[in-house]
Chains A and B, each alone.
Chain A
Amino acid sequence: MQKGAKGKSRVLTANRLRDGLAVFLAAGGGWVADIHRAQVAIDAEAMAALEAEGRAAEAAQHVVGAYLIDVAAEDGKIRPLRNREQIRAAGGPTVPGAVADPGAGRIRAA
């Protein structure tokens, strides 16, 4: 049983084994980098099902370290509640990678 599942929405995330990129379990299966395509679970049973898929993907050497994160899901947009997960879902640092590339950073939404 999921602790504190009542009233929460959650998605499953992990890192892909081969390239390490942060990915999300998508609606319909498969792992994607775009969090907006993630499968959202809103009750304990659905969350448990997501976790089971995560374990299967780990056992199949596809991902590592699958875990659930709390999100707010509305209008087709999925937004993690926790700061750390927002940064992770954005797919890169909130600042440019190096001096010579000032335009490439993603600005964190206020």
Chain B
Amino acid sequence: MYQYDTFDHALVRDRVSQFRGQVARRLAGELSEEEFRPLRLMNGLYLQLHAYMLRVAIPYGTLSATQMRRLAHIARRYDRGFGHFTTRQNIQYNWPKLEEVPDLLEDLAEVEMHAIQTSGNCIRNTTSDPFAGRAADEVEDARVWCEIIRQWSTLHPEFSFLPRKFKIAVSAAKVDRAAIRVHDIGLHLHRNDAGETGFQVMVGGGLGRTPMVGKTIREFLPAEHLLSYLEAILRVYNQEGRRDNKFKARIKILVHESSPEVIREKVEAEWQAIRDEAVDLPAEEVARIRAFFAAPDWPARPDAPAALAAARAKQPAFDRWVKANVAPHRTPGYAIVTVSLKPVGGPPGDATDAQMDAIADLSERYGFGEIRVTHEQNLVLPDVAQEDLHALWLALGEQGLATANVNLVSDIIACPGLDYCALANARSIPVAQDITRRFADDDRIGLIGELKIKISGCINACGHHHVGDIGILGVEKTGEEFYQITLGGRPDDKAAIGTITGRAFAYDEVVDAVERIVETYMALRADGEIFRDTLTRLGHDPFKEALYAAD
């Protein structure tokens, strides 16, 4: 993975020292809260319901064992012993003290981490495929370009005061594991017919109040022009994005109101004017960055070892875990393991400091000291020898990290909701916990198969409910918590926004409602179908009937 040089270190250290000065000025009253707020947001520090919240960047969801240990230390030293992994591959701490945040950031800077631009109206963390560099279906490691974007977008003098936040995602694989079509800019790295590597460029995707799937404005952009093209898009957005209404300020509104063709023309015109200027990187710099993502030297390990099959046959629990949590690796003898942070009854995506330390150790013992964060709030150990899967499973079990539910009904994505977030209208974590308790049986969830439930506590949709098979949106009605259900959302190459089923459900009705949906699917599905297939085949009516028949 990428390693900082003296320049990268200098920037992050300067930024910490700059923020330290800003905090001091704020505490001394030289900066008002109104002036300080955008500055602290640009360093990822929110003021939430109970306390401040700090969002630490995990660039394109990749971190080293050393960095994970430091995140554990942060949780212990500055917080209440845990962190929350987010739907943008970052981590959030819920209890930092403003006066301690500069020290916290300094501790992060020592291990090449920061909280720069994880909030505010600027370019945020560029996210990517958690299997990048390890999956067989990719063209090249998408993270090379994510790192290139990260550097270009950091403290960009022209684009730090945009109309609104700006999110970019990159995928280089056949299967989109980065939800690129619901980002402000989605980039799909692929090869054209001439064998050249370049990007399909989509703009104007996004969730929130007005969810939209991104529109392709360029089918193929040669990879070496990426930064100049991004600069063109950002310049059009910075100049023309709406600033009159916070809820209409994202680029998706600009694309929708102008039309994708008009935006394409403007971007292309701007790009033609700047494409030969200095912003694109020299080839040697791209090569230098690419070298950090070179594949590790995987020692030869047996593929499909007999011991693995024997262990699976002997222990059904282990077999279930392999089925759900283990994905094929591009190298024979290896596997990609997703570590579920969704135990029954647990808050989705949370990990204690002890668990973070354990994962760091396991990434070194069973891998090359690298860990990934998924946008579905799980972690990944990307280089586990198949021979080691059983030992890893046992070790994870000791830490409460062996839940065999990845992509299954209890692998729920949920925002922090009203338990933590000042923007929320309803709680999401207890709903998730209740659903996992209802679907606690391992055999049952295995039978149900792949089914993504995503829960948001408000219309900002940080839980990505719009793109869940079952989406749940918390709302406040007459002072009580209610939950709207949507069906049919997808974040991948066939990205779709879910549609509402009907009236919202009260807090004590919603888990029953979800179970009715699942039971309806189980009763009606054809051989080999997963939930999404049955829904597509039959439409929403049977599910609506099941939900509202008693009304």
Q: Which A residues contact B (CB, under 8 angstroms)? A: 15, 17-22, 58-61, 64-65, 81-84, 87-88, 91-102
Contact = CB atoms under 8 A, between A and B. Distances in A.
B51 A99 contact: no
State the main secondary structure of chain A at its contact with B: loop
Max chain B C-beta neighbours (<10 A), residue from A19, A64, A65, A95: A95
Given A18-B98, A20-B51, A99-B346, 12 more contacts: A18-B27, A82-B479, A83-B480, A84-B425, A87-B418, A97-B81, A97-B347, A97-B350, A98-B350, A99-B343, A99-B355, A100-B400
Contact of A61 (B29, B400, B418): B29
A64 B48 CA distance: 12
A64 to B, nearest CB: 5
Interface of B: 26-29, 33, 47-52, 80-82, 94-99, 343, 345-347, 350-352, 354-355, 400, 418-420, 424-425, 427, 429-430, 433, 476, 479-481
Contacts of A60: 29
A24 to B, nearest CB: 13
A100 B424 CA distance: 25
A101 B351 CA distance: 11
Nearest to B49: A88
A84 B97 CA distance: 22
A95 B98 contact: no
Contacts of A61: 26-29
Nearest to A63: B33
Nearest to A98: B82
Sort A-B residue pairs by CB-CB distance and give the 5 closest, nearest first: A93-B419, A98-B82, A20-B52, A19-B97, A20-B51
A81 B352 CA distance: 33
A34 to B, nearest CB: 14
B343 A18 contact: no
Nearest to B37: A64
Given A65-B47, A88-B49, A100 B28 contact: no
A93 B347 CA distance: 11
B355 A95 contact: no
8 contacts: A20-B47, A58-B33, A61-B29, A87-B427, A98-B347, A98-B350, A99-B400, A100-B355
Nearest to A94: B419
A19 B33 contact: no
Contacts of B430: 94-95
Contacts of A87: 49, 418-419, 427
B33 A18 contact: no
B50 A91 contact: yes
Nearest to A81: B479
A17 B98 contact: yes
Contact of A15 (B26, B28, B47, B427): B47
Contacts of B95: 20
A84 B420 CA distance: 10
Contact of A95 (B48, B51, B433, B479): B433
A100 B479 contact: no
Contacts of B94: 97
A20 B425 CA distance: 21
B343 A83 contact: no
B97 A18 contact: yes
Nearest to B480: A83
Contact of B347 (A15, A20, A96): A96
Contacts of A99: 343, 346-347, 350-352, 355, 400
A60 B26 CA distance: 11
Contacts of B81: 97-98, 100-101
B10 to A, nearest CB: 29
Contacts of A83: 418, 476, 479-481
B420 A93 contact: yes
Contact of A19 (B48, B98, B355, B427): B98
A83 B427 CA distance: 10
A21 B418 CA distance: 16
